[in-house]
Homo-oligomer: A and B are copies of this chain.
Amino acid sequence: MEPLAERVLQGDVRATARLLRCIDDRNGPWRRALADLHPHTGRAWVLGITGNPGAGKSTLTDQLVTYYRRAGLRVGVIAVDPSSPFTGGAILGDRIRMQRHALDAEVFIRSMATRGELGGLSRSTADAVRVLDAWGAAMVIVETVGVGQDELEIARLAHTTAVVMAPGMGDEVQAIKAGILEIADVFVVNKADRDGADATVRDLEMMIALGHEILHSGAHSVGHRGARLDLAEARHRAAANEWLTPIVKTVASRGEGVAQVAEAVAKHRAWLASTDAGAERQVLRARDELTVVFREALMADAMARVGASFDVATARVRDRAQDPYEAAAALLEQYRGS
């Protein structure tokens, strides 16, 4: 076994940090180490925390870390949210508000930077989840902003996804991407001491009721492609013992409602275990992970093989001599023949 992988399995924090850097840089023994770790993964529960900027995701994450630590669990945090204090300091200097877990050797916090390539972020996040799983985290919390395709793909890495919103930020329920309904396993109305919290809860209840109808009628046009279709179907097939997305009110800044969020997550976990939905979700997760990595491998191989032809094709598209579809078809043919 790769020595770095071995040290990760022994719970070594510094080795874990080093491996994550290697993975990001595609450097050193990253490939071998990931392969060695893979059989030792699958024990962590992955909790996605998503929602718009300002909803209080980071504060809730912070409180959940405290909660799970009190329960004696080792916890990993992956902050993909660009507005998170975990990641947001990149340009404006040190803004890390959440340093109270920094000295706890049983908590590993990882910020994911934006990658230039589409899909790069979900691939890195999936890798980081696997590493923290192997490191021994019983719970891995992945914090993302609930908008954007990439973020939805990341959210699908989670076993349980909590969607966080706060009243008084505009049309918050309306502002939720339709696709969110399909990935939300738990709704959290944070800042519940604010005016409008009950209205937000009512809006959500309506949306959940409507959403169930829509999901099961298959009538709406959103998300009915790719993996989310199957997620909807998976839920439909589990109808005999259906999961009704709970709504939990919190004031995360004071720790209120945090235990109830953890409880809802535990219930969801138990529900997944008791139905076919859990097994189906494992397949979907594996398929998503494989899709991301395969797409990347494919594109890298193709770009290397078509070489400078890509720039020639780009010039043709720019000059309007060819449209992108014609140019792409020609490149594909060249790649197939290479």
Q: Which A residues are closer than 8 A to B by beta carbons?
A: 31, 34-35, 37-39, 41-42, 52-54, 82-83, 88, 90-92, 95, 113-122, 126, 130, 145, 147-153, 169-171, 173-179, 181, 206-207, 210-211, 214, 220-229, 282-283, 285-287, 289-290, 292-299, 301-302, 310-311, 313-315, 317-318, 320, 322-329, 331-332, 335-336
Contact = CB atoms under 8 A, between A and B. Distances in A.
Given A35-B326, A82-B175, 13 more contacts: A34-B325, A39-B320, A83-B171, A91-B178, A91-B220, A113-B222, A116-B226, A118-B150, A119-B119, A286-B324, A289-B324, A290-B327, A294-B302
A290 B315 contact: no
Contacts of A177: 82-83, 114
Total copies of this chain within the assembly: 2
B115 A225 contact: yes
A290 B302 contact: no
Q: Lowest 10 A-B CB distances belong to which pairs?
A: A148-B148, A116-B225, A116-B226, A38-B323, A286-B318, A82-B177, A83-B175, A54-B170, A149-B150, A294-B328
A285 B335 CA distance: 23
12 contacts: A53-B175, A82-B176, A83-B171, A90-B178, A91-B210, A115-B225, A116-B225, A117-B226, A148-B149, A286-B314, A294-B331, A298-B332
Contacts of A115: 149, 225-226
A92 B210 CA distance: 8
Contact of A174 (B88, B229, B283, B335): B88
Given A92-B207, A114-B149, A175-B88, A324 B119 contact: no
Contacts of A31: 325
Contact of A145 (B116, B147, B210, B314): B147
- Most B CB within 10 A of own CB, among A88, A95, A122, A324: A324
A174 to B, nearest CB: 5
A285 B318 CA distance: 8
B149 A119 contact: yes
Nearest to A177: B82
B149 A181 contact: no
A323 B34 contact: yes
Contacts of A120: 149, 225
A314 B317 CA distance: 36
Contacts of A227: 116
